[in-house]
Amino acid sequence: MRTLLAGCGLALILSGCGGPSISDAAVRDFQSKARADVPYMERYGDVSDYRTLLEAICDSLDGGQSYKLVSRTVAAYINKEAYDGEVDSLIKIGHETGCPDVKMPDLA
Q: What is the pLDDT of residue 71?
A: 54
Q: What is the pLDDT of residue 56?
A: 56
pLDDT per residue rounded down to tens, the chain (108 residues): 333 333 333 333 343 334 334 455 555 665 565 555 554 444 444 445 555 555 555 555 454 554 555 555 555 554 444 434 455 555 555 555 555 554 444 443
What angle do the packed helices 50-60 and 86-96 form, to 10 degrees? 40
- Amino acid at residue number 23: S
Give the number of residues written for the chain. Answer: 108
* CB neighbourhood size of 67 (10 A): 18
Distance CA 75, CA 99 (A): 17
* Three-state secondary-structure class, residue 61: coil
Q: What is the pLDDT of residue 60?
A: 53
Q: Could you tell me the residue ranges of all domains in the chain?
A: 21-96
Q: What is the pLDDT of residue 106?
A: 45
Distance CA 103, CA 88 (A): 10
